Amino acid sequence: MDLVKLEQLARELMGHRQTHNSREKGHIFFHGRRTGLLARNLRPLVVPDTASFDNLIYLGGLYHDLGKGIEPHARSGVLLAREVLKEYLTEKDLAIVLEIIEKHNTISGEDHPFYVKLIQDADLLDHMGTLEVWLKFCYSSRRGESVENTLNYWKSDFYKKKLIKWRDRLNYEQARRIFAEKMNFLYEFIHRLERENNGEIINLEEIINAPE
Ligand SMILES: [Fe+2]
């Protein structure tokens, strides 16, 4: 399996597409790449004896949103990926990648194999932490929203409910821990953004007491 070639192909197919008007061009490629890498890094923590699946997990993540924009995208993604990948993968490997694409946005758990569950968790986690800041800023800037609008959104009940829904969708306890770590970062970031948005000088004591 030529992973470099398949990543290059993914970049050609998705790296310039604009599938969502509040996201950057090529988002489905960049998001897919991160999802594949994260799922592959999560795999040893949850199913340690399955390293032989690592390349397929990465590929499944890379191509999972290939059909985005042609809804339902999981179904169109399977059709597109079959055509694109059939000359590079064995029947058995292709079936696993297509299964990941087909099931990535179905209800979590549901007796899915571990490689589907890993992609489901990584797909969701890629919307959090520093990437959440990136996505929100892209969204806000396209709509001309202010820092205040963004802070209000992050403090809203709507956002809190969304978070609970997301956390409950995660398949693995380890993914829930990653979720919590990413939320800690975001809350620190929100806190600091709010303070700087009010002109506050952070670590004032240190600044006053620093040697000249
Ligand atoms: Fe996705």
The tens place of each residue's pLDDT in the chain, 212 residues long, gives: 899 999 999 999 999 998 888 899 999 999 999 999 999 999 999 999 999 999 999 999 999 999 998 899 999 999 999 999 999 999 999 999 999 999 999 887 778 999 999 999 999 999 999 999 999 999 999 999 999 999 999 999 999 999 999 999 999 999 999 999 999 999 999 999 999 999 999 999 988 998 88
Q: How far is the CA of 48 from the centre of ligand 1 (A)?
A: 24
Residues 51 and 144 grouped into a single domain:
no
Q: How far is the CA of 123 from the centre of ligand 1 (A)?
A: 5
Q: How far is the CA of 35 from the centre of ligand 1 (A)?
A: 7
Cα angle 22, 15, 40 (rounded to 5 degrees) comes to 95
Q: What is the predicted pLDDT for the residue at 20? A: 84
Does any domain span residue 22?
Answer: yes
Boundary-marking domain end, from 99, 122, 145: 122
Q: How far is the CA of 192 from the centre of ligand 1 (A)?
A: 29
Residues 17 and 108 grouped into a single domain:
yes
Residues 44 and 106 grouped into a single domain:
yes
Residues 167 and 96 grouped into a single domain:
no
Residues 60 and 158 grouped into a single domain:
no
Candidates 35, 186, 57; CA nearest to 124 is 35
Q: What is the predicted pLDDT for the residue at 212? A: 81
Residues, the chain, total? 212
Q: How far is the CA of 169 from the centre of ligand 1 (A)?
A: 14
Residues 9 and 99 grouped into a single domain:
yes
Residues 92 and 16 grouped into a single domain:
yes
Boundary-marking domain end, from 73, 93, 122: 122
Does any domain span residue 206?
Answer: no
Q: How far is the CA of 31 from the centre of ligand 1 (A)?
A: 7
Residues 15 and 81 grouped into a single domain:
yes
Boundary-marking domain end, from 74, 95, 122: 122
Residues 92 and 168 grouped into a single domain:
no
Residues 113 and 136 grouped into a single domain:
no
Q: How far is the CA of 28 from the centre of ligand 1 (A)?
A: 7
Does any domain span residue 210?
Answer: no
Q: How far is the CA of 175 from the centre of ligand 1 (A)?
A: 16
Does any domain span residue 169?
Answer: yes
Q: How far is the CA of 150 from the centre of ligand 1 (A)?
A: 23
Does any domain span residue 211?
Answer: no
Residues 109 and 18 grouped into a single domain:
yes
The total number of structural domains in the chain stands at: 2
Q: How far is the CA of 188 from the centre of ligand 1 (A)?
A: 26
Does any domain span residue 98?
Answer: yes
Q: What is the predicted pLDDT for the residue at 139? A: 94
Containing structural domain, residue 51: 3-122
Q: How far is the CA of 196 from the centre of ligand 1 (A)?
A: 32
Q: What is the predicted pLDDT for the residue at 211? A: 87
